[in-house]
Each structure stands twice: as C-alpha cells, then as structure tokens.
Amino acid sequence: MSLPKLFTKKLIYTISWEDVQIDTKLLGLDQNSSMLTIASAGDHLLNYSLEGVRHIHAVDINPAQLYLVELKKIVISTYDFEVYWSFFGLGKVPDYPHYFEGLLDELTPGARKFWKRKQHLFDPDRKGFYRYGTTGWLSRLLLYSLRRMGVLELINELIYSEDLDSKKILFESLWHKMSQHSAISLWIHPWVLYLGGIPKSQQQSIGSLLPFLKDTLYTILVEQQLSQNPYWRLYWNGYYSLDFAPKHLQKKYFESLKESIFRISIGHSSLLYALQNSRSNRFSHVNLLDHQDWLYNNQKRFTELRETWSTLNTCTSIKKILFRSSYETVPWIDSLTSKNFTVTQMKRKELKSDQVYSYSSTYLLSR
C-alpha cells in the first residue's frame, strides 16, 4: 500500500470525511436500497441507516476502523443520547471506565482488546477523542502551525463574518501571512499528509499543493459559512456543536438511530472480496469513497483495481456507483467502466456546497 505500514492497523479517521448529504442525494437512496461501502469512521453508515436503507455493508482492510464502527453501534444500542453525545459529540466522557465496563463484553474479541487499551481516548481530562487517531494528531499539528503563523484571530473573524466583501479582504490577509511563513511547509509535507490518511498517489495527483490548499481554504472560509460547517469546525474546536451537528448526532433522530443500526454490517476485507462473495449480487448501490486512488499508481494493487471494476460491471443488481478522487479526471475511468453505466463527472467547482471540499472530482455512475 502507498500508505505506510505504520498506519494500516492504527486508527486513522475519527470521522468520515465525506459530505453525507451530497452523497445521499446523488445516490438517490431509499428503503429498497442495499449499500456496499468502505467503513472509514462509520458516520456515513449511521446516516444511511437513518435514510431507511435496507442494508448497509461496510468493509475495511484496517481493523481499527471497524472497531470504531463497532463501538459506535454498541454505544447507540446500549446507552441514552446524553452518553452517546459525550462519546461522539464531545469526545469526552466523564467516568468513561464505567461506561466501557458496560459494553466491552458486547464487542467482538478484537474490538474488545483494542478498546481496553484505547478507552483513555475519551478521558475528559485529556485532549478529547477527536484529537486522536492520525487525523486528530494532524489537527493538533496544524493548529500548532497556525498559532506560530499568528493567524488564529483572523480565522475566527472569518468563521463568524457574514459579509462577503469583508471575508475576501480577511482571507487575502490570512493567506499572505500563511504563505509567507515557514510553518506552511507542515501543511504540504508528505508525512504530515500521511497523518490525514492521504496516500502518496493522492499527493502526486493533486499536483502543486499550495494552490489547491488556497482554493480549499478560500471556498470553506469565504464562499461557505464555516460557522455552520460540522466537518471543519470539528477539527477547529475538537468537538461538535449541538446547533449544527450531523444528522446522526442530533437528539431528535436518536431513537430512530437505535432502531436502524441493525441494518449495518461490517467485514474485515477488501471491497473486491466483498463484491466477489456477495450473495446473489445483492447490492444496489456502491460508495467507493476515495478507495480507487489508493489502488492506482501501485503496480501490485492496480490488478485489484481492474478486478474491482470488472466485478462491478458484471454485478447486474448495482444501479449506482459513487466515488471521489484527488484526480480532476481519473485516468482509469474509460478503461474500467463498461457501456452499462452512464458516467457523470463533477469537478469540485461544480459542488461548491460540499462542506468537506477536499477532492478534485466526484463521479456518479448510473445504469
């Protein structure tokens, strides 16, 4: 894999870095849908279940990500909303050993062993859950660099300003300070990007990273309203806000969530294995996230990429496939999709409402 072996069994993602509202709309999910996707941190799985999706099967080759999904499911089914919010809204749980004592026996052996060692990530006297995982460590490193740059006050002004002209002026001042400071090198250092789960292939496909970074920050800080953005604000604050939490963390949906999580199943495997071993081509929708980027530009795993698309093309039950890429135009799309699918490519400028806004393109394939 292009991601260092150090991270293949470590917790990388503490949240799913996809705008689930956009994904749900593009895929057109309903009660007849059956989804196959990557587990990641599991947030998108919870949201799909709230949409009434009949079955969601999530796979991951990193067992730590599956252990996180397992923990979320057990916390939801075992405790009330206040405890759930402490775990995954605030990331800090008073008397966390007590709550783990009540759920460890419900976990699978691998997850039980993992969370016995890692339950301190929810210690209220520490940084909080969302400051851990490699993405959490990345947020701490980038916040440190922003302090060194002396731009924290400027960013706070941008977060809460609602005047477009004022935000444009503030952003130019912000970017000037950031781009001229030596600490900007942290934002584009390969190993720092690895912490964010960005493999070598994605780093190379983006090209010049500073213009890409500037465009991302401009869109998030100026064109969108960051004060209501749950994804970026989470890593800014270290916790969610009840005022604009994602659907799966809103109290009014909690009882529905309790009733729907049985629809989620997980498996420690590649996506290709899950496709090849599915019962009677059961999946109607597939969300690959950015899975394809991890396979491209890697000679050993490119074979898996080809086999994955060969299998996707022959699974007649699949009606829609969604994936994102750091490539503006993915180099494998023509050779790996059949005429059975209509391919819609959306460059990131076409999805300005995407609150994550970290990928160069989004692809929707429809039969």
Q: Is the pLDDT of residue 52 over 70?
A: yes
Model confidence at 2: pLDDT above 80: no
- State the residue range of the domain holding 138: 131-244
Q: What is the mean pLDDT of residues 149-175?
A: 96
Alpha-carbon distance of 17 to 190, in angstroms, equals: 19
Query: What residues does 325 pair with on adjacent strands?
Result: 361
The predicted pLDDT at position 1 comes to 39
pLDDT reading at 132 higher than 80: yes
Residue 280: predicted pLDDT: 56
How far is CA 111 from its chain centroid?
20
Sign of CA dihedral 277, 280, 281, 285: negative
Residue 52 domain-assigned (yes or no): no
pLDDT digits (tens, 9 = 90+) for 227-251: 999 999 999 999 999 999 999 999 9
* 110 domain residue, yes or no: no
Counted domains in the chain: 1
Per-residue pLDDT tens digits for 99-124:
999 999 999 999 999 999 999 999 99
Looking at the domain assignment, is residue 358 inside a domain? no
Q: Taking residues 211-237, what's their average pLDDT?
A: 94
Query: Does any domain span residue 206?
Result: yes
Q: What is the pTM of this model?
A: 0.94
Q: What is the pLDDT of residue 224?
A: 93
Q: Is residue 90 part of a domain?
A: no
Interval 60-66 mean pLDDT: 95
5-30 burial, b at 16+ Cβ within 10 Å, e below that, comes to eebeeebbbbbbbbbbebbbebbebe
Rama region for 175: left / alpha / beta (φ>0; ψ in -120 to 50; rest): alpha
pLDDT at 54 over 50: yes
